[in-house]
A and B are shown apart, each in its own frame.
Chain A
Amino acid sequence: DADVTQTPRNRITKTGKRIMLECSQTKGHDRMYWYRQDPGLGLRLIYYSFDVKDINKGEISDGYSVSRQAQAKFSLSLESAIPNQTALYFCATSEPTGTSGYEQYFGPGTRLTVT
């Protein structure tokens, strides 16, 4: 089984709808991240969480919110989806300390289309 899983893998939704993307991990890592990937722009950080009670905004948090329900679960919500939120969304995890903390483990991604 994959260490980092994301659901759904694909989603098409309409402008104005609320949508939640879910991420679960079995790596036992405290740190979790949400990124979006757009052609030509690479991966950009939306939110990150160091533990259940520590959530931080990333580079592009406007229009998004997150919930860390447990160490293993980190959800991303779009309260009112808009077309320019169409992108590939990735969840990632990492260890907190040492040089290994710079390695992030990514899920398979969720392709979101907002029409």
Chain B
Amino acid sequence: QKEVEQDPGPLSVPEGAIVSLNCTYSNSAFQYFMWYRQYSRKGPELLMYTYSSGNKEDGRFTAQVDKSSKYISLFIRDSQPSDSATYLCAMSLSGSARQLTFGSGTQLTVLP
């Protein structure tokens, strides 16, 4: 079993829809949770970052972490065609190593 599980999709939604992307994990020691966005033929870039449980909002994006359920989510409101990309969850233990464990990514297409 992988440490981090992510539905690969592909997920296709109409413009303006609310998108929900999710990851589950098995290691309860993870403390830092991130969402990276990867456009086609590009490297991933950090989209959202959350420490421990709770919600974090940034514009149209909301990240949620539920450590009791070992479940994290990324919500995209009013989705746009420019949001079409692969979304990777990532998580890390506390400490100095800063090593990230990534999910396999969910491919999202927002149709105009």
Contact = CB atoms under 8 A, between A and B. Distances in A.
Interface of A: 4, 31, 40-45, 48, 58, 90, 92, 94, 96, 99, 101-109
A22 B21 CA distance: 34
Name the interface size band of chain B: 20 to 34
Interface in B53-91: 88, 90
B46 A104 contact: yes
A41 B104 contact: yes
Interface of B: 4, 6, 8, 32, 34, 41-46, 49, 51, 88, 90, 92, 96, 98-100, 102-105
A51 to B, nearest CB: 12
Contacts of B100: 43, 45, 102, 104
Nearest to B6: A42
B43 A31 contact: no
Contact of B99 (A41, A48, A103): A48
B43 A4 contact: yes
With most chain B CB atoms within 10 A of its CB, the pick from A45, A90, A104 is A104
Nearest to B99: A45
Given A4-B43, A40-B104, A102-B92, A31 B49 contact: no
A105 B90 CA distance: 13
Nearest to B33: A102
B104 A106 contact: no
Contacts of B41: 108-109
